[in-house]
Amino acid sequence: MAIVLVVATILLALVLYRLLGKNEKTYAYTHTMTITYRIDGTEQIQKMNENGIVFITGKKVLIDGNPYVYQSSDRRKIQARLNREGKRIKTIVLFLANGGEKYYYVDQINSVKDVVRRS
């Protein structure tokens, strides 16, 4: 019985380590811009003051709880793009179903206090 308990404890510790050890970065967005394309070829740009938190993992970006793939070997599965300026991510672009794009302007945060200061 003691051996089973030790093995179960080790397995749970490994699972917890994997969950907490994900290489995840946290960003806050302060405003967005949506670009849609009309039938005549013109663009319609809509800027909005929105704020929220974005999590970026190895291949996905999580915006408002919704996962979007930004890195895949199959280009048809890519739903987002990270725009960088040097080593810093400046915007995250979501590809909309209607052919438009939604830009999230982000800054990296280290704590919840950073989000409150930017709002």
CB-count burial class (<10 Å; 0-12, 13-18, 19+) for 106: buried
Please determine, for residue 51, whether its predicted confidence score (pLDDT) is greater than 60.
Answer: yes
Hey, is 2 helix, strand or coil? helix
Amino acid at 108: Q
Please determine, for residue 81, whether its predicted confidence score (pLDDT) is greater than 60.
Answer: yes
Give the count of domains, the chain: 1
Which H or E run contains 114?
Answer: helix 112-118
Please determine, for residue 76, whether its predicted confidence score (pLDDT) is greater than 90.
Answer: no
| CATH code of the domain in which 32 resides | 2.30.29
40 in any annotated domain: yes
pTM, two decimal places: 0.72
9 in any annotated domain: no
Q: Please give the pLDDT value at position 27.
A: 87
Its domain, for residue 31, covers 24-118
Please determine, for residue 11, whether its predicted confidence score (pLDDT) is greater than 60.
Answer: yes
52 in any annotated domain: yes
**What average pLDDT does the segment 79-93 reach?**
92
Q: Please give the pLDDT value at position 91.
A: 94
14 in any annotated domain: no
